[in-house]
Amino acid sequence: METSAILVKAGQLLLSLSILVVLHELGHFIPAKLFKTKVEKFYLFFDPWFSLFKFRKGDTEYGVGWLPLGGYVKIAGMIDESMDKEQMNRPPEPWEFRSKPAWQRLIIMIGGVTVNIVLGFLIYTMILWHWGEKTLPLQNVKYGIYTDSIGHSIGLKDGDMIVSVDGKVPEDFWDVTGDVILDEAKTIQVKRDGQMVDLHIKDGFVGSTIRKKAPIAGVRVPAVMDTIMTEKEGLTAGHKAGLKLGDTVIAINGTEVKYFHEMAKLLVKDSGRTIDLTVKRGADTITLHPTLPKTGQLGVNTFSDRHLDYVTKRYTFGEAIPAGFTKAISTLVGYVQQLRLIFVSKEVKASESLGGFMAIGNLFPSVWDWQSFWTLTALLSIILAFMNILPIPALDGGHVLFLIYEMITGRKPSEKFMEYAQIVGMVLLFSLLLYANGLDIWRWLTGK
């Protein structure tokens, strides 16, 4: 990947996380202030040993740390990641967290999760209002699908028209893979040569698909050249050979080509060689002789948007509000289903599905695109909310669990118990963090 693309991905990830962390911590900060609880620190990113920037206003120190793994607010009289034992050994002060009624402490603790849920909903609402919702109905995949060995293993063939999954019709073609994996579908219905065919999904298919990290089928589009990169942009074989916009590739070294994916496969086989590229240009048929780089790429593209009938549903602001709420809920449900697969399904290994910051960064496009940026930020906001509400010590959900216990029983867990629980939770979280990011590094080193 080019350096510029890496920097763009990293920049989008850093901005997205900064927005999410600051707003999450504001969710704790604002109710704490409303209940007259002293907040000693408000930090974006962590600041062990030193911070990049800080200033004090009132009782609170605001700053930016150097370790971009999250952020925090340090609330006086609360056992948190700061592990400030000295403060906890002193008698409670009226402005401390531990002196407040349980219901106030509960509101302070769920504030961050609440903000992330609301933020995800608001972002989805604004996306739908501004850009609408673009889908590719299954019936509009007019050239059929193409697939590889994974799809072939359950009987899919190039040219099939996918009709439904377990008898249900996905709203968008690109939802098919997710529906198969998350719902652990048993059948796919396709139209082949005018006949309906039922394909049965065999055991182990979900695991194989997740390991592949690609859709089970792609969309076939004609091999018409819509984009030809120039020498300045890098991939120059097609440009140098004289390819022009609108050219249709019909053969490579005498082998007939109709669709773009067929062309791409043949090019990879001849990487590093000079090939005979037969194209149709208007009424003429000509042969070009490009020399392919080792990547086997001509530096060309065909935009499926021009060959397929995408549908964009537009929303008024009033319509976007319930649609945004539905989108946020479906995103949360989908994420929970993914976690369930990791921990329950025998076909899926955690090491194949978990990822750290490199994996998250690679979700962002290599060019700055605001629609993609906000869509991924909404997704990450929903994920952050769910992960934080899990009843694990050191997370918001752990504190909430102990507060609910206190409200039901009337007994507050001892500060020593809370201290040990915080330590256990922090060890678990940092171990998971190291494991996930270690997997990223291992995949990068091994290319897997």
Show Cβ contacts of residue 24 under 8 Å, excluding neighbours closer than 6 positions. 71, 112, 113, 115, 116, 384, 388
pTM: 0.84
Given a cut of 90, whether residue 319 has pLDDT beyond it is yes
Comparing 272 with 55, which gets the higher pLDDT?
55
Question: Can you tell me the mean pLDDT for 218-245?
Answer: 76
**Residues 437-448: tens digit of each pLDDT:** 787 787 777 766
Amino acid of residue 445: L
Top-level class of domain 227-294 = mainly beta
Structure token pair of residue 268: 């990879």
pLDDT reported for residue 245? 82
Confidence of residue 181 (pLDDT cuts 50, 70, 90): confident
Dihedral sign of CA atoms 24, 25, 28, 31 in order: negative
Dihedral sign of CA atoms 135, 140, 146, 149 in order: positive
**Residues 249-270: tens digit of each pLDDT:** 999 999 999 998 898 889 888 8
Question: Can you tell me the mean pLDDT for 180-188?
Answer: 85
Q: What percent of the chain has pLDDT over 90?
A: 39
Question: Can you tell me the mean pLDDT for 370-396?
Answer: 91
**Residues 144-180: tens digit of each pLDDT:** 999 988 888 888 999 999 999 998 999 999 888 888 8
Given a cut of 80, whether residue 128 has pLDDT beyond it is yes
- DSSP letter for each residue of 106-118: HHHHHHHHHHHHH
3-state secondary structure 326-372: HHHHHHHHHHHHHHHHHHHCCCCCHHHHCCCHHHHHCCCCCCCCHHH
Q: Residue 132 gets which letter from DSSP?
A: -
pLDDT reported for residue 233? 46
pLDDT reported for residue 83? 55
d(CA 152, CA 117): 40
pLDDT reported for residue 131? 95
Q: What share of the chain is helix, strand, coil (3-state, %, to 5)?
A: 50, 20, 30
Confidence of residue 345 (pLDDT cuts 50, 70, 90): low
Given a cut of 80, whether residue 8 has pLDDT beyond it is yes
Amino acid of residue 168: K
Q: Provide CATH 2.30.42.60 ranges for the chain.
A: 227-294
Given a cut of 90, whether residue 230 has pLDDT beyond it is no
Given a cut of 60, whether residue 288 has pLDDT beyond it is yes
d(CA 375, CA 38): 35
Question: Can you tell me the mean pLDDT for 274-289?
Answer: 90
Residues recorded for the chain: 448
Q: Provide CATH 2.30.42.10 ranges for the chain.
A: 134-219+308-313
Question: Can you tell me the mean pLDDT for 114-137?
Answer: 95
**Residues 77-94: tens digit of each pLDDT:** 887 665 555 666 677 788
d(CA 132, CA 312): 6
Structure token pair of residue 382: 């929903």
pLDDT reported for residue 55? 93
Q: Residue 374 gets which letter from DSSP?
A: H
Between 8-22, 137-151, 233-247, the lowest mean confidence (pLDDT) is in 233-247
- Mean predicted lDDT score pLDDT of the chain: 86
d(CA 125, CA 328): 9
Are 31 and 107 in contact, with CB atoms under 8 Å apart? yes
d(CA 385, CA 103): 20
Question: Can you tell me the mean pLDDT for 197-216?
Answer: 79
Question: Can you tell me the mean pLDDT for 237-244?
Answer: 82
Q: Which helix or strand (DSSP H or E) is residue 430 part of?
A: helix 415-446
Structure token pair of residue 3: 């350096």
Structure token pair of residue 345: 């399904």
pLDDT reported for residue 358? 80
Question: Per DSSP, what are the bridge partners of residue 251?
Answer: 256, 278
Are 143 and 221 in contact, with CB atoms under 8 Å apart? yes
Are 113 and 390 in contact, with CB atoms under 8 Å apart? no
Which is the CATH superfamily of the domain at 134-219+308-313?
A: PDZ domain (2.30.42.10)
Dihedral sign of CA atoms 287, 291, 294, 295 in order: negative
Show Cβ contacts of residue 438 under 8 Å, excluding neighbours closer than 6 positions. 356
CA distances from 437 to 72, 108, 196 (A): 21, 30, 45
Question: Can you tell me the mean pLDDT for 207-236?
Answer: 74
Closest CA to 219 of 279, 303, 297: 303
Given a cut of 90, whether residue 376 has pLDDT beyond it is yes
Are 81 and 422 in contact, with CB atoms under 8 Å apart? yes
Given a cut of 80, whether residue 195 has pLDDT beyond it is yes
**Residues 115-126: tens digit of each pLDDT:** 999 999 999 999
Furthest C-alpha separation in the chain = 90
Given a cut of 90, whether residue 329 has pLDDT beyond it is yes
